[in-house]
Amino acid sequence: MMFNLSVFDCLAKEEREIYNQYRAINKSDEKQKTKEELLNSVSSYPDVREIAKKSLFYKNNEPIISKLIAGFENECVRLSESLVYDEKNPKEIPLIKEIIILDCPGTSEKDEHSWHEILLKQLIDKGVLINGEKYKVYSSSANQMKKRQVCLMQEDFLKNNQKRLMCGLTLEIINQNGGCNTGKYLAYTSLIFSKSVEPSIDIDINEILVLPEFETDVIERVNYLDMESHTIEERTMPVPINHMDGAGIFLPGVFPQSCQIRGGWIKGAVFPFNFRQFIIEKQEKGIAKDIIKDVWGNEISVNYIRDKIKMILNGSQLKMWKFYKSWEDYKEAFEGNGLKICINNTMHYPNNEDPIVLSAYQFYQTIPRENVTDEKIKDLSKLTIEKINDAKINPDTALEIMGADMDEIDGLDPFYASIKAYPQMLQDSFVRKRIDKKIQSERKKAMSGRPYIKGYYNYICPDLYAACEYWFCGTEEPEGLIPKNHIYNALYCEKEDVTEVCCLRSPHLSDCEHGIRLLEKSDECKKWFIGMDTVISTHDLLTKILQCDVDGDELLLTPDRAFIDLLDRKKLPLYYEMKKAEPSEVNDQNIYDCLMRSFKNERIGDISNVMTKYLNMAYEIDVDFVRILTAYNNFCIDNPKSQYMPSLGKYQGMYHEWLEREYPYFFKYAKDKRTDKCCDNKKINNRSNVNRISKYIGDNTKSNKGNIWVNPVDGKDFNPVYFQDVDFKVDRSSDTYKALRDKLMKLKIKDTEKFRKRLREKYNASKQSKNLGYDVYYFHCYSILKNVVKEKYDISEKIGFRRKTALYLIDIEYFQEENRDSDKSILWSCFGDILYENLLYNLRHKPEKLFQVKRNAYKKSEEKENMINDMVKAVQKEMLDEYAVPIMDYEYSWISNLSCRKGCETDRYLLYLLLVLYKRKKKYLDGLEDQESITDDNLNHFKIYNNARYQKITRTTIDRWIGRTIAKKGLERFVKKGLVKIIYGMDYDKIYLYLPENYPLDNEDPDYQPEELFWVNDSNPMIDYYMYSKEAKVKTCAVCQKKFIVVGGNFKTCSPKCSRINELRNKNKQ
């Protein structure tokens, strides 16, 4: 874990006061004046900026969760003194304080600087004091630049480790040798933050070599794009290709498989290839060279390479090689500073012989619309529809779709193991709901334009044989083993029925990016190429088609005929020349200028969204616009390094027009966009390939909800008696049983994904965090439940208090009528191993395969239990406090003194509720990090929705709170009185509450001090109102323990559901 702060945290007290004034002002002229005052105040700050301890830690010295982000182990983190692993608890998550990520929001206007940016310049020049320690702006990766972030490093840590972090280089050395493009310098100095692990066996730097890059001109017909004139023409031309751009070779056995590596300016992928055997064979034929040159131009014996070298890199992988005199100079710096070659990522093997994967909507939107007929959509969607619908009838598919991994080394989840052993469990309502939830999740993914297709993701590998011919045989135009328009892939080359595949890569933007290729199935390929990578040819432009490098980029390789048969085979590759920035001196001013240009660069997400809108909704497609936007997007991606951004010329207006358009309909599923933000015009939607695929899948996978798994499985009905221990009698009349039932109900109320996530974050951020083996909330549940039994457990019972707890809970969950349809996640997460154990014992015929299962709970110290239980209480309080707002005495008076006509006295309740909604909205906005992006309009209104489907506050919600239907007419009365203004909308109305003049104070007494009368904590604000005013009675529900308003009668429960549960409980007592 590490801190993620904002430049906002650096503001001095006086600056914050001006800033708060600026936010509170509504008049534009006053606002501009205050803005200038803020800019002047920030600009004239004379000292080193400070961030106080209170911005990082709570009073108990625990880090503030909202200020933390999760990080990966990397070269830099391994130097931190905080990264100390406890051998007894190897999965403890340490807090790294030497590195801090700093958010730098600001204006996107190219010629304007906000106070954020002025402040960032001060941090670059002077550093910043954080909790008493001096930090310097160290770097910013390309990804961080997109997010407007920089990386701060503790100054002492940087001084002590600079040679190791920069592999012996310094800024002085770099600048004395011609300098470096500032964007590249920031990208390369950020490599130490790439995730990496040290391999179990050290890679000896003396067994590595760096050779020149392997580049040739590939002559091919292309769509040539000139970004200066914005013209595209077909032409046959030589296109320079660096075939090994980011790729290296290792002898088989050095690494287990293809992988990406880091260490001492090294970045890229390495692939297994027996270059030693290659040299031997070529020497036997007399065609190998005796001497070759490394990237520095120094001569090396090929015999030495054959006998001593185990890994070959090229110049594109050693990013700062030009600043070293020779390979010996680099090795001395590498070894002298204790650096190691580390693994960043590894190639993922397919999970079976016929893998299928979710695809991406971009692959379909660029296919010519006339190719995507209804019949072809049917063929394309068949795999997806069968998979989703099969989960409703096939136990194995149901388990697969729920995420069960039958090959899990550490043991299978007992819940999944039990279903495998006893498929009749699929009839249980809890299991059915869980399956249906997963089915709907898969259905939503498919309807987002991601149908399943045959294929798998793997690394793009260059023709390593051709590279060795180039290096060791001196062949300028090597033949290699892969002919033009072919690829080699070990999985599919073994399949007789597969002769053609399509290579796909995300992001996929233009109409020229479907890489259809034939399979090269030669014996030579099988001999030389190891693993499951896709080996491409050096004789075509596949890397230009896919817009990829070979430094670890992945492609989706698919042999799926239903997909390939949709494609246009006549498309030519799109080619345009990228720009490179010249080297310059690396200094603070150039770093600042580079960051500003990158921060103010076009948002990449906007460009791809414009393309998606256009491709799915335009009446006719202008392919030139699509191709120019594709190039524009890639210039934008490259901008942090190149510092160059072309214009869109005549397409600028068209771009901004589509930027403002609504989203295509399928974005409702793909990006969780609200329906009102998506196009609802059926005629326009029917133009879209993706919308039509989405609709077809949706129509053919409609939810069965309660109808799945209702019929007997294998002719037998589900019977929970198999989970019981027949030799143990549960005493339902005991105090222990009743206490367990009540505790379980309370724990279930808190068992929401939001609560569990917040608790996980809090636990992971704590200094004492250790791996629990499962969700921390269920550890809390286990602790609470077993302690109920433990308190009155008699050792003479012999059964053990943990097992007794499980057996009592099994009876409560499965044999008490009120719980038969309830969620049983707590039971299975805490005691699933006992249920599975009982199941196996009670089954008369044993399942074909017994699974080793995870034990869901194990002994922890009392201190650990207390700590987690305290965290649960703290998270409860935090979630309660999030929208808790106070009602002041002057606010209560304003509400109470509201003049109401006869019969409309409840208008006072309505006014109270509007005030609460306004204050809760304001509290939410006050808690946001990026205050600058909050508009004045957003500050002054809250929303009331017109439809309950958004699960937001509606007029019906307000009526339910009050207990009368008054919201609609009451709001109309308030408009006439001048209490509110309403701007009506299709999906929601904006409500502007006019508070009294001189609000919040309107009291002539000079000694008057405002007083908090009560806090509004409940989701129904009327609960807190009545608890204070006593105008109605508030009770606690006998079942769920929630507070509710009593409206006549002597009710004990809050709802019909709880009343039914209470009724069943009382029935069971008889």
Tell me: the pLDDT tens digits for 445-500? 999 999 999 999 999 999 999 999 999 999 999 999 999 999 999 999 999 999 99
Give the single-character DSSP code of 684: H
Torsion of CA 152, 343, 164, 101, to 10 degrees: 0
The rounded distance, in Å, linking the Cα atoms of 673 and 1025 is 36
Q: In angstroms, rounded to a whole number, what is the distance separating the alpha carbons of residues 173 and 166?
A: 11
CA distance 22 to 599: 24
Q: Which of 235-249, 327-341, 936-950 has the lowest mean pLDDT?
A: 936-950
Q: Measure the CA–CA gap between 897 and 893, rounded to whole angstroms.
A: 6
**DSSP-assigned letter for residue 89:** B
* Crossing angle of the two packed helices 588-599 and 623-642, in degrees rounded to 10: 160
pLDDT in tens, 485-541: 999 999 999 999 999 999 999 999 999 999 999 999 999 999 999 999 999 999 999
Q: Residue 88 has what pLDDT?
A: 46
Asked if 133 contacts 949 with a C-beta cutoff of 8 angstroms, the reply is no
What pLDDT does 410 receive?
Answer: 62
Count the Cβ atoms, other than its own, within 10 Å of residue 455: 25
What angle (nearest 5°) sits at the alpha carbon of residue 802, between those of residues 799 and 807?
Answer: 75
Neighbours of 170 (CB within 10 A): 12
Question: What DSSP character marks residue 557?
Answer: E
- Provide the pLDDT for residue 1052: 86
**pLDDT: which is higher, 127 or 403:** 127
Peptide bond into 507 cis (omega under 30): yes
User: Mean pLDDT: which of 96-105, 556-565, 987-996, 1005-1014 is highest?
Assistant: 556-565
* String of DSSP letters for 271-282: EE--HHHHHHHH
Which of these ranges, 141-145, 362-366, 773-777, 876-880, has the smallest mean pLDDT?
Answer: 773-777
Kindly state the tokens that stand for 275: 């270059």
Cis preceding linkage at 847, omega within 30: no
Say what angle helices 115-126 and 588-599 make with each other, to 10 degrees.
Answer: 150
**What are the structural domain ranges in the chain?**
2-193, 205-346, 364-453+601-717, 454-575, 719-872, 883-1018, 1032-1070
Residue 401 reports pLDDT greater than 90: no
How far is residue 536's CA from residue 520's CA, in Å, rounded to a whole number?
A: 10
CA 47 to chain centre: 38
Task: With a cut of 80, say whether residue 846 has pLDDT above it.
Answer: no
Distances (CA, A) of 405 to 269, 412, 413: 29, 7, 9
Higher pLDDT, 899 or 65: 899
**Token pair of 353, please?**
């012989």
pLDDT of residue 394: 87
Q: What is the 3-state secondary structure (H, E, C) of 619-662?
A: CCCCHHHHHHHHHHHHHHHHHHHHCCCCCCHHHHHHHHHHHCCC
736 band by pLDDT with thresholds 50, 70 and 90: very high
Instruction: Collapse the DSSP code of 260 into the 3-class scheme (helix H, G, I; strand E, B; otherwise coil) and give the result.
Output: strand
Element housing 102 (H / E): strand 96-103
Enter the tokens of residue 984. 């009506």
Residue type, 944: I
By residue count, the chain amounts to 1070
Q: What is the pLDDT of residue 487?
A: 98
For the segment 974-1003, the average pLDDT, to the nearest whole number, is: 81
- 842 within 8 A of 722, measured Cβ to Cβ: yes
Looking at the domain covering 454-575, what would its CATH class be?
mainly beta
The alpha helices in 978-1034, defined as continuous H runs, are 1021-1029
Q: How many CB atoms lie within 10 A of CB 184?
A: 21
Helix (H) or strand (E) holding 955: helix 955-962
Q: Around Cβ 830, how many Cβ atoms within 10 Å?
A: 26
Q: CA quadruple 502, 505, 509, 515: dihedral positive or negative?
A: negative
Across 614-635, average pLDDT: 95
pLDDT band of residue 26 (cuts 50, 70, 90) is low
Q: Comparing 926-930, 993-997, 1062-1066, which segment has the lowest mean pLDDT?
A: 926-930
Give the span between the Cα atoms of 725 and 818, in whole angstroms: 22
pLDDT for 91 beyond 60: no
Burial label for 864, CB within 10 Å (0-12, 13-18, 19+), is middle
More confident residue, 21 or 770: 21
The token pair at 375 is 């019949």
* Structure confidence at residue 731 (pLDDT): 92
- Taking residue 58's Cβ as centre, other Cβ atoms within 10 Å add up to 11
Query: Distance (Å, rounded) from C-alpha 728 to C-alpha 248?
Result: 65
* 904 alpha-carbon distance from chain centroid: 50
Task: Give the pLDDT score at 705.
Answer: 57
Neighbours of 1028 (CB within 10 A): 14
* N- to C-terminal Cα separation, the chain: 55
Of the candidate ranges 213-217, 398-402, 405-409, 420-424, the one whose mean pLDDT is the lowest: 405-409
Contact call for residues 209 and 294 (beta carbons, < 8 A): yes
The yes-or-no verdict on residue 1008 having pLDDT over 90 is: no
Asked whether 600 and 643 are in contact (CB, 8 A), the reply is: no
The phi and psi torsions of 270 (rounded to 5 degrees) equal -130, 140
835 pLDDT higher than 70: yes
Are 471 and 480 a contacting pair, CB within 8 Å? no
Residue 726 has a pLDDT of: 87
**Can you say whether residue 178 is alpha, beta or left, with left for phi > 0 and alpha for psi between -120 and 50 degrees?**
left
Among 266, 411, 272, 229, smallest CA distance to 340 is for: 266
Return the DSSP state at 32.
H
pLDDT class of 852 with cuts at 50, 70, 90? confident
Q: What is the pLDDT of residue 415?
A: 92
**pLDDT at residue number 847:** 62
pLDDT of the residue at 369:
96
* % of residues, the chain, pLDDT over 90: 61
Q: Kindly report the number of other CB atoms within 10 A of residue 995's CB atom.
A: 13
Residue 23 is predicted with a pLDDT of: 74
Q: Which amino acid is at 536?
A: I
By CB atoms closer than 10 A (0-12, 13-18, 19+), residue 869 is middle
Q: What gap in Å lies between CA 1044 and CA 575, rounded to an integer?
A: 67
pLDDT (average), residues 863-885: 82
Average pLDDT over every residue of 406-432? 84
Indicate whether 283 pLDDT > 80: yes
Distance, in Å, from the CA atom of 554 to the CA atom of 348, rounded to the nearest integer, reads 10
* pLDDT attached to residue 61: 81
Lowest mean pLDDT among 28-32, 34-38, 389-393, 406-410: 406-410
pLDDT at residue 869 tops 70: yes
Q: Which pLDDT score is estimated for 109?
A: 61
Mean pLDDT of 226-249: 96
Q: What share of the chain is helix, strand, coil (3-state, %, to 5)?
A: 45, 15, 40
The pLDDT assigned to 90 comes to: 43
Return the SS3 of 166: coil
What average pLDDT does the segment 950-973 reach? 90
Asked whether residue 672 carries a pLDDT value surpassing 60, the answer given is yes
pLDDT tens-digit readout, 50-72: 998 888 887 778 887 778 887 77
The span from the CA of 508 to the CA of 514, in Å, is: 9
pLDDT on residue 756: 86
Q: What is the pLDDT of residues 178-187, one digit of tens each?
A: 999 999 999 9
Share of the chain above pLDDT 70, in %: 92
The pLDDT value recorded for residue 180 is 94
Mean pLDDT in the chain?
89
Beta carbons of 741 and 816 less than 8 angstroms apart: yes
Tell me the C-alpha to C-alpha distance, in Å, between residue 1055 and each of 443, 810, 1040. Answer: 33, 26, 10
- How many Å apart are CA 325 and CA 331, to the nearest integer? 11
Q: How far is residue 267's CA from residue 314's CA, in Å, rounded to a whole number?
A: 10
Helix residue ranges per DSSP H, 502-560: 523-528, 542-545
Distance in angstroms (rounded) separating the CA atoms of residues 863 and 870:
10
Q: What is the secondary structure of 214-253 as a DSSP string?
A: -EEEEEEEEEEEETTTTEEEEEEEEEEEETTTTEEEE-TT
CA distance 156 to 99: 12
Quick one: average pLDDT of 75-99? 70
Q: Write the pLDDT tens digit of every residue in 149-203.
A: 999 999 999 999 999 999 999 999 999 999 999 999 999 999 999 988 888 888 9
pLDDT, tens digit (0-9, with 9 covering 90-100), for 591-605: 999 998 888 876 778
**How many beta carbons lie within 10 A of that of residue 40, not counting itself?**
12
The pLDDT score that the predictor gives to residue 282 is: 97
Instruction: Pinpoint the alpha helices (H) of 451-528.
Output: 464-472, 490-493, 523-528
pLDDT for residue 143 = 86
The pLDDT score that the predictor gives to residue 933 is 65
Confidence of residue 855 (pLDDT cuts 50, 70, 90): low
Phi/psi region, residue 884 (left: phi>0; alpha: psi -120 to 50; beta: rest), is beta
pTM of the model: 0.84
